[in-house]
Amino acid sequence: MPVSREVHLIERPKAMPTLDQFQIVETNVPDAADGEVLVQNLYMSVDPAMRPRLTAGQDLGVAMMGGALGRVVQSKNGDYAVGDLVSNRLGFREYFTSDGKGLTKLTPDPDLSLTTHMHAMGMTGFTAYGGLLHIGALKEGEQVFVSTAGGAVGSIAAQIAKIKNCYVVGSTGTAEKAAWLKDEVGLDAVINYKDAPIRTQLEAATPRASTSTSTMSAAITWRRPCAA
């Protein structure tokens, strides 16, 4: 029976969260029963979507929910073997038992870090992929504008657009992120939204485009080329 440390929310923040609104609690977790697995979380993800849940949605005095990647350390469930890697939403705890519901078995690529399954190959990457290629129906060679391109979803979306041979413009709020987007990510143009009205900068960066906007989790937008 392992001892698990958990992060509990004990007071709802009214503004910026503070450390005294959280508590680390130790609890005994039972061994896996028939049909169950015991999972040890290896990595936990702090995501922007967690902030509104702190105000409403996250129960007080229990382990916080959140994305995580763990390893099966005991199994009495035929679908899982000891050593299997699984993603889950029971993030802010070291150990937990499960009957398998809510677990997604992973097949890691030995050439990639395990944490890749929590961003580029996880929910972050799926959000960018779905927004651009399914909702946006992105086509080869289009002009694409990615808002908050220096963020988790935005940076992945920008790279997907570059893979599709698109002309990509990204926005950010610091010179450091702008340089990273231009030099490392390879965007064609970068807008600092603090320098001037974003529409003015966007029109200058994409002179042969008409604007159509679709909003998703990370405010990814795109600009269709003019027909003429």
Q: Supply the pLDDT for residue 209.
A: 60
In this structure, what is the dihedral angle of CA atoms 142, 148, 153, 159, given to the nearest 10 degrees? 40
Q: Supply the pLDDT for residue 3.
A: 93
Q: Where in the chain is the domain with CATH 3.40.50.720?
A: 123-225
Render pLDDT for 33-53 as a digit per residue (tens, 0 to 9).
999 999 999 999 887 778 888
The region of weakest confidence among 78-82, 135-139, 212-216 is: 212-216
* Average pLDDT rounded to a whole number, residues 189-213: 75
> Looking at the predicted structure, is the pLDDT value of residue 24 above 90?
yes
Q: What percent of the chain has pLDDT over 90?
A: 41
Q: Where are the alpha helices (DSSP H) in 164-218?
A: 175-180, 198-205
Q: What is the mean pLDDT of the chain?
A: 85
Render pLDDT for 110-122 as a digit per residue (tens, 0 to 9).
888 888 888 888 8
Phi, psi dihedral angles at 212 (to 5 degrees)? -135, 140
- Domain 123-225 top-level CATH class: alpha beta
Given the candidates 3.90.180.10, 2.40.30.10, 1.10.2020.10, 3.30.1600.10, the CATH classification of the domain at 3-118 is 3.90.180.10
Q: Supply the pLDDT for residue 181.
A: 93
Q: Where in the chain is the domain with CATH 3.90.180.10?
A: 3-118
Q: Supply the pLDDT for residue 207.
A: 66
SS3 131: helix
Sorting pLDDT into bands at 50, 70 and 90, what band is 208? low
Supply the DSSP symbol for 94: S
Q: Supply the pLDDT for residue 139.
A: 86
> Looking at the predicted structure, is the pLDDT value of residue 157 above 60?
yes
The span from the CA of 68 to the CA of 53, in Å, is 17
Q: Supply the pLDDT for residue 120.
A: 83
How far is C-alpha 128 from the geometric centre of its chain's CA atoms?
A: 9
Yes or no: say if 138 and 164 are a contact pair by the CB < 8 Å rule: yes
Sorting pLDDT into bands at 50, 70 and 90, what band is 163? very high
Listed residue (162, 171, 129) closest to 143, CA to CA: 162
In the block, which residue shows the tokens 């970068």? 190
What is the number of alpha carbons within 13 Å of residue 12 lying toward its C-beta?
A: 10
